[in-house]
């Protein structure tokens, strides 16, 4: 279960614990306040009954004070036939049809509490009552608190995610610039030695191959130097670019691994930064090679649509477990014994930030393979 638990999970659990405790305590307070209000209504009923049945010479000032002190609990008095006789603590201001309002309130009170019977010498009345404004606010308080906590959590998560993303960007840019800087000096030295070898005609074939690898290293350094700055996008034929990468990677792949390109058109013009986009494809193919035990197939499929271009890199490797799919683009996340886990995160950044496209795992199944999809919008 540890793979599903992180600091966000603990934050949510703490918030839920606070809300649960608040709901429990508030409901207990509301229940006690409801019992107290029922007692007050019973006291009011007793006062009304005392006043109604009092003798002319009997002092009913105390009973009248009890009745007058109820200024919060809404009440409606009806006769035995259900006709409304009187009401108290119900706001009828700015109401055109008072009777309609009282009937509506009466139905609400009937649903909330059973009536209290009031016996007179000449008959019976029934008193229906609702909840005071204070009790109503107390019942809704936990939901207001829950809303506030949810909003607070959202603000905190957004702020932390933004700060985390900003820190990632700084790490990416700083690491890339430093890598390009560190590669610059030995590359210049190697290039000078290459010129010296060419002058002495030492094994021309070997020198040619070494020059290719040197050019490749210079290209890698150029890629790193471009991270963190807005690259110039140039319209190119995507098919040619991909075919060159497929050919390059096929020469460096194991003999039992085939790398192929499938496309529905021979010419697909798109605006890309060639060196950076090559880096993305190379990363995806290298990951596919690492996922296969020296044999299998890698297919780069291109589908050109009027508004978008889909590029799928499919392999027959070991696949990605479902719980790891969302983590593979995080900087530093890797399942390899070597490497810093920056390849996929940098690839995603190149596609989404510089090319305004999308890079994600379209499908993956353990022991059957994985398909990464790139979407480029025209």
Q: Let me know: does 214 contact 191? Beta carbons within 8 Å.
A: yes
How do residues 144-184 score in pLDDT, each as one tens digit? Answer: 877 887 888 788 778 877 777 777 667 666 776 667 667 77
Report which listed range, 1-10, 180-189, 208-217, 321-330, is most confident: 321-330
Return left, alpha or beta for 259; rule: phi > 0 is left, psi -120 to 50 is alpha, else beta: beta
- Residue of 222, 208, 197 lying closest to 273 (CA atoms): 222
Mean pLDDT of 360-371: 93
Measured CA to CA, the distance from residue 176 to residue 223 in angstroms comes to: 8
Measured CA to CA, the distance from residue 158 to residue 139 in angstroms comes to: 30
Average pLDDT, the chain: 82
The packing angle between helices 204-226 and 274-291, to 10°, is 110
**Which tokens sit at 333?**
């996340």
Q: Let me know: does 374 contact 280? Beta carbons within 8 Å.
A: yes
- Domain architecture of the chain: domains with CATH: 2-130 (3.30.450), 231-377 (3.30.565.10)
Please report which helix (H) or strand (E) contains residue 299, including its range: strand 295-304
- Output the pTM of the full model: 0.52
33 pLDDT more than 60: yes
- The band of 5, judged by pLDDT with boundaries at 50, 70 and 90, is low
Q: How many CA atoms lie within 13 A of 61 on its CB side?
A: 2
């Amino acid at each position: 279960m540890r793979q599903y638990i992180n600091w966000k999970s603990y934050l949510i659990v703490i918030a839920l614990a606070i809300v649960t405790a608040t709901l429990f305590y508030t409901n207990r307070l509301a229940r006690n306040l409801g019992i107290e209000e029922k007692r007050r209504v019973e006291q009011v009923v007793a006062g009304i009954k005392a006043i109604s049945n009092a003798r002319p010479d009997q002092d009913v000032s105390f009973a009248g004070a009890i009745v007058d002190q109820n200024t919060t609990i809404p009440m409606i008095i009806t006769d035995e036939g259900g006709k409304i006789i009187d009401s108290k603590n119900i706001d009828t201001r700015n109401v055109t049809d008072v009777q309609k309002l009282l009937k509506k309130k009466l139905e609400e009170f009937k649903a909330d509490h059973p009536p209290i019977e009031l016996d007179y010498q000449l008959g019976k009345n029934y008193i229906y009552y609702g909840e005071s404004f204070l009790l109503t606010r107390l019942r809704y308080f936990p939901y207001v608190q829950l809303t506030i906590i949810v909003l607070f959590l959202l603000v905190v998560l957004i702020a932390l995610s933004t700060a985390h993303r900003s820190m990632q960007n700084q790490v990416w840019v700083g690491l890339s610039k430093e890598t390009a800087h560190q590669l610059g000096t030995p590359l210049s030295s190697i290039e000078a030695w290459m010129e010296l070898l060419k002058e002495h005609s030492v094994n021309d074939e070997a020198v040619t191959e070494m020059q290719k690898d040197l050019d490749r290293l210079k290209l890698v350094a150029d890629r790193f130097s471009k991270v963190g700055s807005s690259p110039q996008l140039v319209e190119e034929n995507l098919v040619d670019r991909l075919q060159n990468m497929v050919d390059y990677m096929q020469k460096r792949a194991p003999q039992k691994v085939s790398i192929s390109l499938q496309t529905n058109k021979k010419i697909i013009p798109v605006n890309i930064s060639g060196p950076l986009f090559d880096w993305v494809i190379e990363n995806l193919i290298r990951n596919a090679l690492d996922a296969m035990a020296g044999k299998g197939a890698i297919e780069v499929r291109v589908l050109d649509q009027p508004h978008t271009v889909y590029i799928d890199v499919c392999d027959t490797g070991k696949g990605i477990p479902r719980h790891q799919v969302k983590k593979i683009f995080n900087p530093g996340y890797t399942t390899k014994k070597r490497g810093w886990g920056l390849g996929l995160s940098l690839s995603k950044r190149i596609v989404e930030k510089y090319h305004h496209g999308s890079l994600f795992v379209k499908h993956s199944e353990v022991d059957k393979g994985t398909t990464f999809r790139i979407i480029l919008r025209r």
